[in-house]
Amino acid sequence: MLIYLIKIFIFQILISFPIIKISIMKSLVDKPNNRKFHLNATPYTGGIILSLTYLFIIFLTEFDDKSLNLVFSYAFIISLTGLVDDRYNVRPGTKLILQSIPIFFLIDQNLYLLDLGNYNLVDTLNLGSINKIFTFLCCLLLINAFNYSDGIDGLLPTISIVILISFTVFLLNINNMAYLNMILITFPLIIFLFFNFGILKKFKVFLGDSGSNFLGFIISFIAIYLFKEKGIHPALIVWPLAYLVYEFLSVTIFRIMSNKGTFKPGKDHLHYEIIKVFKLNQYTALFFIIFVNIFFVLFGSFIFYKTSPDISMIAFIFFFIIYLGFKYLIKKFNNQLNK
């Protein structure tokens, strides 16, 4: 395991510096505006760095899991489609089409949901003839949920690390050796934080849409993989994803109610709103959101293991209602500040 981690570290470092330099030369940079925190034009090619790293994990570490190999291979495609969006700022409809292509490819490789697990009240919740459509819509939702939460340095990579560590613990709990693969998958994100936080100022890099799409894609299909091939119940898998799902659904609901464009950039995401209401800096906001995310993981896991999948899913829905109410209060305070 250690030698594999060393190989990943060396490879990712070796490709990061030249990609960042080339991005600056080719103007593949995110320029500051009134919606963003950064003051200097910053490369948005972090997703390309990550996708190449994950692609080469297959070769560098003799990664032999067929399903995960397919996920990483098609994830490279979605990182390229995200880069197109970053470069040309495509329309929402075009963006959804670009995101859909690799999802369809991977579903066609039989990585899709047949059911949503067993429950005391309804036995097996079969999806029947809508299984592929349901899988497609869930993946598309989650990819855009990741995109919604990519607003401050380190937020989305850290959330993704929490999710993958949670998945690792779930596998450890059932003594499944696939937890070693989860460690390898988590490690590149830890390395990426070094560049995302700008520890070396001249080599700071953002995820960009290429990165948020990439992370949403791989984690969507890793979640499906954990259920289909490793037997981890969906009522447990949903909890590490809770913050991202809650945030996406709440923002979408409030935008529809306000007749605003659903996929347009805005400052109605939680990280922007708590910064304004509580006068936080972006790193304090980061720690707050990560704390919320970890709380959901711990509480949801406790409920699942101590009660039943039925209670776990009911609690998941109940906490969304609470989250929606919290977002409403934050928005109300923000509106008062704007008057």
CA distance 204 to 225: 33
Contacts (Cβ under 8 Å, ≥6 apart) of 230: 171, 174, 176, 178
Tell me the pLDDT tens digit for each residue of 196-227.
998 887 899 999 999 999 999 999 999 999 99
Residue 56 lies in a domain: yes
Q: Is the pLDDT of residue 325 over 60?
A: yes
Contacts (Cβ under 8 Å, ≥6 apart) of 122: none
Q: What is the 8-class DSSP label of residue 47?
A: H
Under the banding of pLDDT at 50, 70 and 90, the label for residue 38 is low
Question: Under a CB-based contact definition with an 8 Å cutoff, are residues 134 and 233 in contact?
Answer: no
Encoding tokens for residue 45? 């090619």
Alpha carbons within 13 A on the beta-carbon side of 70 = 17
Residue 34 lies in a domain: no
Residue 325 lies in a domain: yes
CA distances from 83 to 92, 120, 254, 255 (A): 14, 45, 28, 26
Give the residue among 263, 242, 252 at the shortest CA–CA distance from 315. 242
Under the banding of pLDDT at 50, 70 and 90, the label for residue 248 is very high
Tell me the pLDDT tens digit for each residue of 84-106.
988 888 888 888 999 999 999 99
Give the angle subtended at the CA of 207 by the CAs of 89 and 58, to the nearest 5°: 115
Encoding tokens for residue 88? 């040309």
CA distance 94 to 98: 6
Q: Which residue range(s) make up the domain with 51?
A: 41-338
CA distances from 333 to 47, 78, 125, 147, 243 (A): 35, 38, 41, 25, 21
Contacts (Cβ under 8 Å, ≥6 apart) of 55: 72, 73, 75, 76
The residue ranking higher by pLDDT, 89 or 323, is 323
CA distance 36 to 271: 12
Residue 8 lies in a domain: no
Residue 1 lies in a domain: no
Share of the chain above pLDDT 90, in %: 65
Region 292-320 average pLDDT: 97
Per-residue pLDDT, 64: 72
Question: Under a CB-based contact definition with an 8 Å cutoff, are residues 207 and 261 in contact?
Answer: no
Under the banding of pLDDT at 50, 70 and 90, the label for residue 35 is low
Residue 279 lies in a domain: yes
Cβ of 134: how many Cβ atoms within 10 Å? Answer: 16
Instruction: Say how many domains are in the chain.
Output: 1
CA distance 227 to 141: 18
State how beta strands 115-119 and 123-126 pair. Answer: antiparallel
Alpha carbons within 13 A on the beta-carbon side of 313 = 14
Per-residue pLDDT, 61: 63
Residue 2 lies in a domain: no
Question: Under a CB-based contact definition with an 8 Å cutoff, are residues 72 and 57 in contact?
Answer: yes
Give the residue among 239, 242, 266, 238 at the shortest CA–CA distance from 254. 266
Per-residue pLDDT, 277: 84
CA distance 236 to 331: 30
Residue with tokens 């934050």: 330
Residue 13 lies in a domain: no
Write out the E strands in 265-327: none
